[in-house]
Amino acid sequence: MRDFPSCFGENGVQVADSSSGASRSAQNLVTCVYQSRLGGRSCLITITWSKNLMGQGLCVGIDDSTNHCLCKVDIKPWLFSKKKGSKSLEVDSRKVHIFWDLSIAKFGSGPEPLEDFYLAVVFDREMALLLGNLSKEAYRKTNARPPPSNAAFVSKKEQISGKRVYNTKAQFWDDGQVHDVSVECETAGVKDPCLLIRIDKKIVIQVKRLIWKFRGNETILVDGLPVDVLWDVYNWLFSTSVGSAVFMFKTSLSAEKLWSASGNLSGPYPLPWSCSQIFRETQLQGHGFSLLLYAWKNE
């Protein structure tokens, strides 16, 4: 059985095997995947923002529709001189140019910039991906032409930590509202732990008797549209080593329908879904968004 935390591995978004006991303090990672096109062919562009004791950095990877890596570049933890620059790579005998300017970027507690920046991926003088709010500056710097359609935000994977409450933000729909997402759970010294999930401070899921419901899924409405929420808090409750709980928020597709269709899960505590299949089906249908959270408890 494919375990939940590694379910995105074959789709080019796996950064570290968090289920193997890797230390959450080694570095803070946020991985975002976008569906775009390079010269008419479909591709996935993966942007990984990182933050560790050496500083902040990012990695840009481009895969084709068969998950074959076309190119990858690491922009290592930067000093002041590396917050602005460009790199060029070759794909099919043509150049892929990556431009970035984070010299005045504003950051929160995580590694991902919030505003006053741009990151651009240009292929054959066409803007394959543009992130950040400095779009005018990006087009002026790159001399690229706009694409026929904007890249689609496919998934986001993030490591978060806390003692009881875990917070992040997510935009579930194109041009939709950015929502505050909160997970709350107290397990230390509690006989009957309860899991609370909030969207914009409103409780959307409450799981009582968590000892018996440490894995599960429910469907909620966000902006009037369905979002499947899947959780696995086994490591919080039963693991003898340090481990993360895993939460997934998935738009568009029904996790239960996909699970029923797969029919090949096994093991003493089978997961009620196949998230790798969810991701593949989303890619094939060309829509949907996944937010995958690794939640680590601070000691």
pLDDT of residue 23 exceeding 60, the answer is no
E-strand spans in 110-171?
A: 113-115, 118-123, 126-131, 152-162, 165-170
Averaged over 163-186, what is the pLDDT?
A: 87
CATH 2.40.128.180 residue window(s) in the chain? 160-297
Q: What angle do CA 95, 100, 104 make, to 5 degrees?
A: 170
Q: Is the Cβ–Cβ distance between 77 and 93 less than 8 Å?
A: no
Which pLDDT score, from 0 to 100, does residue 252 have?
A: 62
The Cα 6–Cα 58 span in angstroms is 21
Confidence grade of residue 259 (pLDDT, cut at 50, 70, 90): very low
By mean pLDDT, which of 25-34, 95-104, 212-221, 279-288 is the weakest? 279-288
pLDDT of residue 182 exceeding 70, the answer is yes
pLDDT of residue 206 exceeding 70, the answer is yes
Distances (CA, A) of 67 to 44, 190, 242, 277: 8, 44, 32, 14
What residues are paired with 247 via a beta bridge?
Answer: 231, 293
By mean pLDDT, which of 75-84, 100-109, 282-291 is the weakest? 282-291
Which tokens go with 2?
Answer: 């494919």
Q: Write down the H helix ranges in the chain.
A: 135-142, 234-237, 255-262, 275-285
Which pLDDT score, from 0 to 100, does residue 283 have?
A: 46
Which pLDDT score, from 0 to 100, does residue 80 have?
A: 59
E-strand spans in the chain?
A: 28-38, 41-52, 55-64, 69-75, 84-91, 94-101, 106-107, 113-115, 118-123, 126-131, 152-162, 165-170, 179-185, 195-199, 202-207, 215-222, 225-232, 245-251, 290-297
pLDDT (tens digit per residue) in 126-169: 999 999 999 999 999 999 999 988 888 888 999 888 888 989 88
pLDDT of residue 225 exceeding 90, the answer is no
Q: Which residue has the higher pLDDT, 27 or 203?
A: 203
What integer best gives the mean pLDDT of the chain?
78
pLDDT (tens digit per residue) in 55-100: 888 999 998 877 788 888 888 877 656 788 999 988 877 889 999 9
Which pLDDT score, from 0 to 100, does residue 273 have?
A: 38
Q: Which residue has the higher pLDDT, 69 or 233?
A: 233
Averaged over 239-247, what is the pLDDT?
A: 84
Which tokens go with 236?
Answer: 């919080």
The 10 Å CB-count burial string (b at 16+, else e) for 213-251 is ebbbbeeeebeeeebbbbbbbbbbeeeeeebbbbbbbbb
Confidence grade of residue 299 (pLDDT, cut at 50, 70, 90): low
pLDDT of residue 52 exceeding 50, the answer is yes
pTM: 0.77
By mean pLDDT, which of 19-23, 141-145, 187-191, 224-228 is the weakest? 19-23
Which pLDDT score, from 0 to 100, does residue 82 have?
A: 76
Which pLDDT score, from 0 to 100, does residue 21 have?
A: 41
Give residue 252's region: left, alpha or beta (phi > 0; psi -120 to 50). left
Is the domain spanning 160-297 CATH 2.40.128.180? The answer is yes
Q: Is the Cβ–Cβ distance between 98 and 91 less than 8 Å?
A: no
pLDDT (tens digit per residue) in 246-255: 999 998 654 4
Averaged over 198-207, what is the pLDDT?
A: 94
Query: By percentage, how much of the chain surpasses pLDDT 90?
Result: 39
Distances (CA, A) of 274 to 51, 190, 243, 284, 297: 30, 31, 21, 16, 25
Q: Which residue has the higher pLDDT, 107 or 4?
A: 107
